[in-house]
Amino acid sequence: MTRAQFEKLVWEAVDSLPQFFRDRLQNVMIVIQERPDPPDDTLLGLYHGVPLTERSVFSDQIQPDVIYIFQKNIEAIAGGDADEIRRQVRITVIHEIGHYFGLDEDQLAALEDEPDAASAA
Residue ranges of domains in the chain, CATH in brackets: 3-54+62-120 (3.30.2010.20)
pLDDT of amino acid 48? 95
Longest dimension (CA), the chain: 46
Q: Model's pTM, two decimal places? A: 0.85
- pLDDT higher than 60, residue 119: no
- pLDDT tens digits, 11-61: 999 998 889 889 989 889 999 999 999 999 999 999 999 888 888 777 776
- Percentages helix, strand, coil for the chain (3-state, rounded to 5) are 50, 15, 35
Residue 66's nearest CA partner among 100, 89, 101 is 100
